[in-house]
Amino acid sequence: MTLNHNIFTSKVRSMQPYHVPSCGGMIKLDAMESPYGLPADMREALGNVLALATLNRYPNPHSTSTVAKIKQVFALPASCEVILGNGSDELIQIILTAVAKPGTSVLSPTPSFVMYQQAAELLGMNFVGVDLHADFSIDAQAFLQAIKDHQPAVIFLAYPNNPTGMLLDKDFIREVIAAAPGMVVIDEAYSAYADDSAQDLLASDDKVVLIRTLSKIGMAGIRLGYLVAQPETVAQFEKVRMPYNINRLTQAAARFMLEQKSYLDECVDKILREKAALYQYLSAREGVTVFASQTNFLLIRVDDANAVFERLRDEHSILIKNMHGYHPILDNVLRITVGRKKENAKLCQALSTILG
């Protein structure tokens, strides 16, 4: 080996790659995907649309028509600008790249979405996590104190939070915005499943940046997220974004899918109904604590999460997410993405076999 690995940053050398377990032939309830694909007629129509994509030309660098469609479908405030990301993961990276200076802090409750910390640290910034209480609620006092102590350039608030599935108190978010010296990024990956949105806060303060994704509403495969903020803020992010970051196939597919918004809404409604049924089943089971959730997943606590996770996987071909070991408040916690009726029934059956 002649490549001197000291050229890689010590952060990169010490990291583990993001692990995605193999899932061939498994019932996949681990990644907050929608279980619903497209009916045959819609698939054919999508095929016709994609066939017309001009693949020999670069895409529109500002994704103009896709942005217009998103603004319209999600009724985004006219005074705000939108930029698209290759998933909201890329938007998180763009936001942080734009502010990355040595010594800069990034703040978020923990546990929350792991990419906030990972992206911040990769860029050489200082990530500060403020632990949630054991009941998954925010330690408001500690959080506001951390803002004072660390003066973060960016604060991430997932609304609702992944992995705890809960919404923060809206007045607390207002307090955070008032106290923040920099941006407050509200990550609404699960807005379709939640009772509330913080979209109204966009107008109240130019510190607020909203990010959302199409991944959790049936389009994880196309990788598309959007960011909404004041034009002056978006203008800074635009310099960081790679010019052709959203490819033509993704843009065409997104516009097509958003034309079928009523179908997407039906799928969300079905998932919410399935979630209610699954919640009811799980809460009636002895040996399982199930937590309320504003998302398309449910968290449960069992006596031995590792054993339940492994037996579901190895004996029943059901893949869920084992959160045990991620954070002390997630001890023996499992995260289950709501699937189709049949898949959820198989999960329930498997759980009764395993838990006796």
Ligand X SMILES: *Cc1c(COP(=O)(O)O)cnc(C)c1O
Task: Output 91 or 201, the one with its CB closest to ligand X.
Answer: 91
Task: Output 172 or 281, the one with its CB closest to ligand X.
Answer: 172
Q: Is residue 89 involved in binding ligand X (CB under 6 A)?
A: yes
Number of residues that bind ligand X (CB under 6 A): 12
Using Cβ positions, the residue closest to ligand X within the complex turns out to be 87
Query: According to CB under 6 A, which one of 197, 199, 215, 247 is a site residue for ligand X?
Result: 215
Question: Smallest distance from the beta carbon of 89 to ligand X, in angstroms?
Answer: 4
Question: Smallest distance from the beta carbon of 127 to ligand X, in angstroms?
Answer: 15
Question: What is the spatial distance between Cα 43 and Cα 23, in angstroms, rounded to a whole number?
Answer: 24
Question: Smallest distance from the beta carbon of 5 to ligand X, in angstroms?
Answer: 29
Question: Smallest distance from the beta carbon of 20 to ligand X, in angstroms?
Answer: 12
Task: Output 55 or 292, the one with its CB closest to ligand X.
Answer: 292
Q: Is residue 217 involved in binding ligand X (CB under 6 A)?
A: no
Question: What is the spatial distance between Cα 51 and Cα 249, in angstroms, rounded to a whole number?
Answer: 9
Q: Is residue 356 classed exposed, middle or buried when 0-12, 13-18 and 19+ CB atoms within 10 A define those classes? A: exposed
Q: Is residue 125 classed exposed, middle or buried when 0-12, 13-18 and 19+ CB atoms within 10 A define those classes? A: buried
- Closest by Cα among 224, 92, 96 to 158: 92
Task: Output 88 or 117, the one with its CB closest to ligand X.
Answer: 88
Q: Is residue 109 involved in binding ligand X (CB under 6 A)?
A: no
User: Residue 255: which H helix or E strand, with range?
Assistant: helix 248-259
Q: Is residue 5 classed exposed, middle or buried when 0-12, 13-18 and 19+ CB atoms within 10 A define those classes? A: exposed
User: Residue 83: which H helix or E strand, with range?
Assistant: strand 81-85
Question: What is the spatial distance between Cα 160 and Cα 122, in angstroms, rounded to a whole number?
Answer: 25
Cβ atoms of residues 125 and 100 within 8 Å: yes
Task: Output 187 or 343, the one with its CB closest to ligand X.
Answer: 187
Q: Which of residues 123-162 bind ligand X (CB under 6 A)?
A: 158, 162
Question: What would you measure as the largest C-alpha separation in the chain, in angstroms?
Answer: 60
Q: Which of residues 232-291 bind ligand X (CB under 6 A)?
A: none
Cβ atoms of residues 177 and 204 within 8 Å: yes
Question: Segment contacting ligand X (CB under 6 A): 49-57, 82-90, 97-105, 335-343?
Answer: 82-90
Q: Is residue 113 involved in binding ligand X (CB under 6 A)?
A: yes
Task: Output 187 or 274, the one with its CB closest to ligand X.
Answer: 187
Query: According to CB under 6 A, which one of 35, 109, 111, 225 is a site residue for ligand X?
Result: 225
Task: Output 39 or 221, the one with its CB closest to ligand X.
Answer: 221
Q: Is residue 66 involved in binding ligand X (CB under 6 A)?
A: no
Question: Segment contacting ligand X (CB under 6 A): 22-30, 83-91, 130-138, 229-237?
Answer: 83-91
CA atoms within 13 A on the CB side of 326: 21
Q: Is residue 338 involved in binding ligand X (CB under 6 A)?
A: no
Annotate each residue in 164-203 with x if it binds ligand X (CB under 6 A) or - if it does not, as one string.
-----------------------x-x--------------
Question: Segment contacting ligand X (CB under 6 A): 40-48, 84-92, 319-327, 335-343?
Answer: 84-92
- In this structure, what token pair is assigned to residue 132? 């949630």
- Closest by Cα among 221, 222, 157 to 190: 157
Residue type, 83: I
Question: Smallest distance from the beta carbon of 177 to ligand X, in angstroms?
Answer: 19
Question: Segment contacting ligand X (CB under 6 A): 81-89, 167-175, 235-243, 277-285?
Answer: 81-89
Cα 161 from chain centroid (whole Å): 9
Q: Is residue 44 classed exposed, middle or buried when 0-12, 13-18 and 19+ CB atoms within 10 A define those classes? A: exposed
Enumerate binding residues for ligand X (CB under 6 A): 32, 87-89, 113, 158, 162, 187, 189, 213, 215, 225
